Amino acid sequence: MLATATAHHGVGLSFIAAVVAAGFGAGLFNGVAGGGTMLSFPTLLALGISPITANISSTIGILPGYLTSIHGFRQEISQQRHQLRRLIVPAVGGGIVGAALLLTTSPAVFNVLVVVLVGLATLLFALQPLLAKAMGRASTKVEHRVAVVVGVTVTSLYGGYFGAGMGIMLLVVFGLTLPISLAESSGLRSVLSIMVNALAALIFLLRGTPNWVAVACLAPGSLVGGYVGAHLAKRLPTIWLRVTVVAIGVITTAVLAAKA
């Protein structure tokens, strides 16, 4: 089946190898430090896939790699089940709106917006360690119920539309609105991120136009990468992974800006 699809799309073994490697890297990065989309999305762009199709294909293809990220936060997630029950609706609502907006955005408009989106995601990944420390020190002592719902809704909308950097945004929202630890915030973030990405992927599967060859290559790569990343999360020097993500983001932003 893959061979047939490959021939149909005019791609060869080099395409398959590059996309599988990108999927593995995306799963690994998400399992260790985050930022997987900033590897899979630019790779698809570099291989000649249009920005909207690359975004849709990346969202669907790297979803399996997210599933392993919950494993390390099982205890924290169980302690925050009441927050999850309250935040599921705004997360789902925001994700649906974001995915629907992407499907109704013209390629010309998205080609301009993606420069800002990739640039923003790159900046967030670069600042993630500083933001995490700041949230850990300045975590609120009072629960702001309306603010957390609004923050999760807006962040999920962004996540359904593009996705890269959503987890970092959620950490900031939780740090400012919920009196919980950074580890508990990370557990909440991982579950809500998976929900929004899974929902967006489902919508894109039903109504979008993914590159199925790219999806078929990304999915197994991200699954293996996510498994490896989850087991190496506490051993690998995340600074080098972060530097790689930021470097790719800067180059991608520059290339996209030149084409816009």
Q: Encoding tokens for residue 120?
A: 């923003």
- DSSP alpha helix (H) spans, the chain: 2-9, 13-32, 37-46, 51-61, 63-66, 74-79, 81-104, 107-137, 145-161, 166-177, 182-207, 212-232, 238-259
pLDDT at 67: 78
**pLDDT 10s digits, 101-130:** 999 999 989 988 999 999 988 888 888 777
pLDDT at 132: 67
Distance CA 194, CA 67 (A): 7
Distance CA 95, CA 152 (A): 10
pLDDT at 234: 61
pTM of the model: 0.81
**pLDDT 10s digits, 128-180:** 777 767 766 656 677 888 999 999 999 999 999 998 888 888 888 888 888 88
Distance CA 215, CA 193 (A): 19
pLDDT at 8: 44
